[in-house]
Copies of this chain bind each other. A is one copy, B any other.
């Protein structure tokens, strides 16, 4: 509950963020510039800690910094409709699901290629290489 000023290093350990990353967030306007000490050190207050935690939580969920920026802006407008927040989150979920589906397809194909490989052979007979090189007609090897 105390609101004693924190150094950037304190903030970094408290949030699991690197010092350089915090400075980067400030530079791009994601985290407000804090007060400075006599020696020009950044002196963070509790609200900075809170906001950085919000940012990191969003990032951990895969939101882009631009989305985080929007979410920050929206969440300060207490009276406004929740629809925009909902839209951003739903869109992000859809994108995440698409990405998963893409990766599942890749993994399946990789497993298929790897499954045919008997390690210990030689490049000339390698099923993996064969699967990657296009045939003379440009079609993919089965």
Q: Which residues of A contact B (CB under 8 A)?
A: 1, 14, 49-50, 53-54, 57-58, 60-62, 71, 74-75, 77-83, 85-86, 89-90, 92-93, 96-97, 99-100, 103-104, 106-107, 109-111, 113-114, 117, 119-126, 128-129, 132-134, 136, 138, 140
Contact = CB atoms under 8 A, between A and B. Distances in A.
A105 to B, nearest CB: 10
Integer count of this chain's copies in the complex: 2
Residue picked from A71, A133, A136, most chain B C-beta under 10 Å: A133
Contacts of A100: 100, 103-104, 107
A64 to B, nearest CB: 13
Contacts of A81: 120-123
A123 B54 contact: no
A103 B99 contact: yes
Contacts of A122: 78-82
Can you list the 9 inter-chain pairs with the closest CB atoms, starting with the nearest?
Answer: A78-B124, A53-B134, A82-B126, A93-B110, A75-B129, A82-B121, A96-B107, A100-B103, A86-B119
A120 B60 CA distance: 26
B57 A120 contact: no
Given A75-B123, A107-B97, A123-B82, A114 B134 contact: no
Given A74-B123, A83-B119, A103-B100, A114 B90 contact: yes
Contacts of A79: 122-124
